[in-house]
Chains A and B, each alone.
Chain A
Amino acid sequence: MKTTMNVRSFNSIFSPALILHHQTDSMSERIKNEWFSSIRPDLLSGLVVALALIPEAIAFSIIAGVDPKVGLYAAFSIAIITAFTGGRPAMISAATGAMALLMVTLVRDHGLQYLFAATILTGLLQIAAGYFRLGSLMRFVSRSVVTGFVNALAILIFMAQLPELTNVSWHVYAMTAGGLALIYLFPLLPVIGKSLPSPLVAIILLTGIAIATGLDIRTVGDMGELPDTLPVFLWPEVPLNMATLSIIFPYSIGLATVGLLESMMTATIVDDLTDTKSDKNRECRAQGIANIGAGLIGGMAGCGMIGQSVINVKSGGRGRLSSFSAGLFLLIMVVFFDAWIRQIPMAALVAVMIMVSIGTFSWESLLNLRKHPPSTSIVMLVTVITVVSTHNLAIGVFAGILLASLFFANKVGHFMLIKKELDSSGTTRTYRVIGQVFFASADKFTDSFDFREAAANIVIDLSGAHFWDISAVSALDRAVIKFRREGAQVEIIGMNDASATIVDRFGVHDKPEEVEKILSGH
């Protein structure tokens, strides 16, 4: 093994590589790289992902309160469309729990047709986000907010399984426990354990047992309609007026935000795992196009899937062919085996979903709670708590971002210092301000002046300070006025340089020499 690997690595130096974004006129080269650079692993991983997607898509439909076929059609169309249009090859997008959780009340209060309309609007909003390059806004989402999002998602997926586990016979508990045991223990078997997807093995065995023993437990067939045909084009039957828009718009905004957030996070994870780059804004547009497609064939909104993408990379998927084949295999299996899918006991699905929630949860973050600074942990916990209490990932993320920004502002606010000097004659007091003056440090700035001191001349030297906003300027104004009232002569040095940062001249930030000038204290 060792030697073959070495030889491979030597050869690899000049083998075709998956190159994204290279400036080349040869389009076919890029298509070859992104689609056909690893056909066999891509098809295999596509199959594994398709098998794992079926129970998830059904379970997420049930979370959203719609027929399983809505989630399955969505999974099919989103996977296929993002395979072509996505900015991140090997990322899997389909119907997701995060999105399903947001549409529960819409489906309950207004019905399925409004969900399709909201899905299409979500797509349009996401395409707009892609064109306005909002993908880059992801940089304001800090690491702890992302961790909080992921953990909250895992908790919500787990909580969504609880109705299936309450007020049921002991058979269901036994089945779920058996399913979980199969899922986690089966991969430990030599050879066969790594070549057959264990969630599938668990589902098949449990379905077999349920049919053989004739147990009276809930099955997928009880949850609603399954797809029996290929999806067909379907324009949502909603009146096209402002009333409809006012119903679906709030949902669409939430769906678009959460969809993009999770997709961008998933893209970053796949970037890390495969050590390649992705085009985030292209991915935004792709998510939008995929959602429009899903809405038009009777599917629910979806987005990038963290768990499935990890499974895909782990199973060897690297190219667009992997997501394409996942969608295709899914549709084939669902349409041709619907009689069997109908018989899958809900307990087996619950086991799979518990695996997904365990896999999604960032267990590392629990260990890090004590290691990381408290502010970071608080941001993470607030994100989780907000999401779990509102059942809305978008609100949780906003709370997290807000809190993280406040903590950051507070931290930077500490970086301000005022030195006092008295000249030899004792008539001139010099205040030298160093550091960042802005809304968070403005009060501290004002407090640092000693207004009761009777000095004839006051010099405020700002050449080592940065004034970031109007709060800082007005704090200075107030200080000057106060000194004047005491009858002192006030002189300010270096005001122009210090306040250069107030003006939002974004162009300046692109020029290294300008940035250096501002940061070096003029």
Chain B
Amino acid sequence: MKTITACLDGSTGAKAVCEAGVWASQKLDAPLQLLHVLEKESLPPSGDLSGTIGFGSRQRLLEQLVKLEAEKSRIGREHGEALLNEAKTLARQSGATDLSTLQLHGSLVETLTDLESHIRLAIMGRQGELHDSAHHAIGSHLEHAIRTLHCPVLVVMQEFRVPLRFMIAFDASPTSRKALDLVIGSPLLAGSECHVVMAGKAASTHAPHLEAATRDLKEKGFRTTGTVLDGTAAEALQSYAETHRMGLMVMGAYGHKPIRRFLVGSTTTRMLAETSIPLLILR
């Protein structure tokens, strides 16, 4: 059985990640897995610039480094365990039943890639621990993870509320069409109000696609409205989400070629940085 994997860290958003995990696992009727990855910092502990190598200096240096890192890692592990236990209690109180925790060494993205075949939905906070204070900062792993992973990723903000209304960023591309089909086929958002929104320069030319999309959604029992917006995609989507008090946005990830992404910048990256509501990113 594929799991809902909630990636926790010590940031203030961890609670929201946990709550979103409970919500998704109840909606999808899938087990919830709380994941904490212990990453290793590669920075040197201290600089000894004396440039000498004396009797057995290789051995001594190794012992020193091992001692320093062992202590750091032990604290990191205990911190992670406490975090997982807390999250587990929270999840249980919120009504999660099928619950497991997992703590692994490695890098987050590598770990998720390894686990990917068992993941139905990965949930991550927008900011890592380093960025707690900075607004609009993306956690260092988030973008990399979204580019690498093929499973759906739900990015949550500092707080999580169960979405009653959600919007789909639609641009008639194969990626967004696929995202739409996934929404239609999944029980995750069933029963909530859906706004299909097209934005960007060429939006008006794709009106028939938009109609088709809204029709499909209506058939599946979503209360649906379709809208075309002017302006650059990221800004228009953002202001639409605010005025209509959306609870969640669904979008396809990194639809364009790398070279265009490099030159023009990516809508996905901008949305990640600027959004104030959770993003469900589908590939």
A residues with CB within 8 A of B: 5-6, 8-19, 22-26, 29, 37-38, 41, 44-45, 48-49, 51-52, 183-184, 186-187, 193-200, 269, 272-276, 306-307, 310-311, 313-318, 355-356, 358-360, 362-364
Stretch from B32-40, B89-97, B160-168 that touches the partner: B32-40
Q: Are A13 and B129 in contact (CB under 8 A)?
A: yes
B1 to chain A, nearest CB (A): 25
When the two chains form the complex, which single residue of B40, B57, B69 contacts A17, counting CB atoms closer than 8 Å?
Answer: B40
B59 in contact (CB, < 8 A): yes
Report A-chain residues with C-beta under 8 Å of the C-beta of B139. 14
Closest-by-CB residue of A relative to B141 is: A14
- Do most interface residues of chain A lie in helix, strand or loop, or is the interface mixed? helix
CA distance A356 to B108 in the complex (A): 41
Q: Are A14 and B130 in contact (CB under 8 A)?
A: yes
A17 to chain B, nearest CB (A): 5
CA distance A12 to B71 in the complex (A): 13
A335 to chain B, nearest CB (A): 21
Stretch from B41-49, B175-183, B192-200 that touches the partner: B41-49
B92 to chain A, nearest CB (A): 24
Q: Are B140 and A356 in contact (CB under 8 A)?
A: no
* With A44-B49, A318-B42 as contacts: A10 and B54 at CB distance below 8 Å: no
Closest-by-CB residue of B relative to A34 is: B42
A358 to chain B, nearest CB (A): 6
Q: Are A316 and B53 in contact (CB under 8 A)?
A: no
**Total residues of chain B contacting the partner, CB 8 A:** 51
B113 in contact (CB, < 8 A): yes
Report A-chain residues with C-beta under 8 Å of the C-beta of B61. 273, 310, 313-314
When the two chains form the complex, which single residue of B46, B52, B72 contacts A359, counting CB atoms closer than 8 Å?
Answer: B52
Report B-chain residues with C-beta under 8 Å of the C-beta of A15. 39, 41, 128, 130, 140
A316 to chain B, nearest CB (A): 4
CA distance A363 to B110 in the complex (A): 40
Report B-chain residues with C-beta under 8 Å of the C-beta of A269. 58
Q: Are A314 and B54 in contact (CB under 8 A)?
A: no
B19 in contact (CB, < 8 A): no
A306 to chain B, nearest CB (A): 8
CA distance A44 to B48 in the complex (A): 10
Q: Are B51 and A38 in contact (CB under 8 A)?
A: no
6 smallest beta-carbon distances between A and B, as pairs: A359-B53, A197-B51, A14-B128, A18-B42, A12-B41, A187-B50
Report A-chain residues with C-beta under 8 Å of the C-beta of B270. none
* With A13-B9, A275-B69 as contacts: A41 and B40 at CB distance below 8 Å: no
B151 to chain A, nearest CB (A): 15
When the two chains form the complex, which single residue of B52, B72, B141 contacts A355, counting CB atoms closer than 8 Å?
Answer: B52
When the two chains form the complex, which single residue of A26, A184, A275 contacts B40, counting CB atoms closer than 8 Å?
Answer: A275
Instruction: With A9-B75, A316-B46 given, name 15 new contacts (CB 8 A).
Output: A14-B128, A14-B130, A22-B107, A37-B43, A184-B52, A196-B50, A199-B52, A273-B58, A273-B65, A274-B65, A311-B53, A313-B61, A316-B48, A359-B54, A362-B58
A160 to chain B, nearest CB (A): 17
Q: Are A196 and B57 in contact (CB under 8 A)?
A: no
B residues with CB within 8 A of A: 9-11, 37-44, 46-59, 61-62, 65, 69, 71-73, 75-76, 79-80, 107-110, 113, 128-130, 139-141, 144, 147-148, 258
* With A17-B39, A17-B42, A22-B110 as contacts: A5 and B52 at CB distance below 8 Å: no
Report B-chain residues with C-beta under 8 Å of the C-beta of A272. 62
Q: Are A194 and B56 in contact (CB under 8 A)?
A: no
Report B-chain residues with C-beta under 8 Å of the C-beta of A11. 129-130
Report A-chain residues with C-beta under 8 Å of the C-beta of B40. 12, 17, 275
Q: Are A364 and B56 in contact (CB under 8 A)?
A: yes
CA distance A462 to B82 in the complex (A): 57
Q: Are A41 and B80 in contact (CB under 8 A)?
A: no
Q: Are B48 and A194 in contact (CB under 8 A)?
A: yes
Q: Are A363 and B56 in contact (CB under 8 A)?
A: yes
A12 to chain B, nearest CB (A): 4
* With A315-B51, A364-B56 as contacts: A25 and B113 at CB distance below 8 Å: no
* With A273-B62, A310-B58 as contacts: A13 and B49 at CB distance below 8 Å: no
Report B-chain residues with C-beta under 8 Å of the C-beta of A45. 47, 49
Closest-by-CB residue of B relative to A365 is: B56
Report A-chain residues with C-beta under 8 Å of the C-beta of B50. 186-187, 193-198
Q: Can you spell out 5 A-B residue pairs with CB atoms less than 8 angstroms apart?
A: A193-B50, A198-B50, A358-B55, A359-B58, A364-B56
Report B-chain residues with C-beta under 8 Å of the C-beta of A37. 42-43
Report B-chain residues with C-beta under 8 Å of the C-beta of A306. 58
Report A-chain residues with C-beta under 8 Å of the C-beta of B258. 25
When the two chains form the complex, which single residue of A6, A8, A51, A358 contacts B51, counting CB atoms closer than 8 Å?
Answer: A51
Q: Are B55 and A5 in contact (CB under 8 A)?
A: no
Q: Are A359 and B11 in contact (CB under 8 A)?
A: no
When the two chains form the complex, which single residue of B42, B52, B73 contacts A276, counting CB atoms closer than 8 Å?
Answer: B42
CA distance A45 to B45 in the complex (A): 13
B46 to chain A, nearest CB (A): 7
Q: Are A29 and B144 in contact (CB under 8 A)?
A: yes
CA distance A5 to B75 in the complex (A): 10
Q: Are B107 and A13 in contact (CB under 8 A)?
A: no
Closest-by-CB residue of B relative to A24 is: B148
Q: Are B44 and A41 in contact (CB under 8 A)?
A: yes
CA distance A51 to B51 in the complex (A): 9
When the two chains form the complex, which single residue of B38, B51, B148 contacts A48, counting CB atoms closer than 8 Å?
Answer: B51
Report A-chain residues with C-beta under 8 Å of the C-beta of B48. 187, 194, 314-316
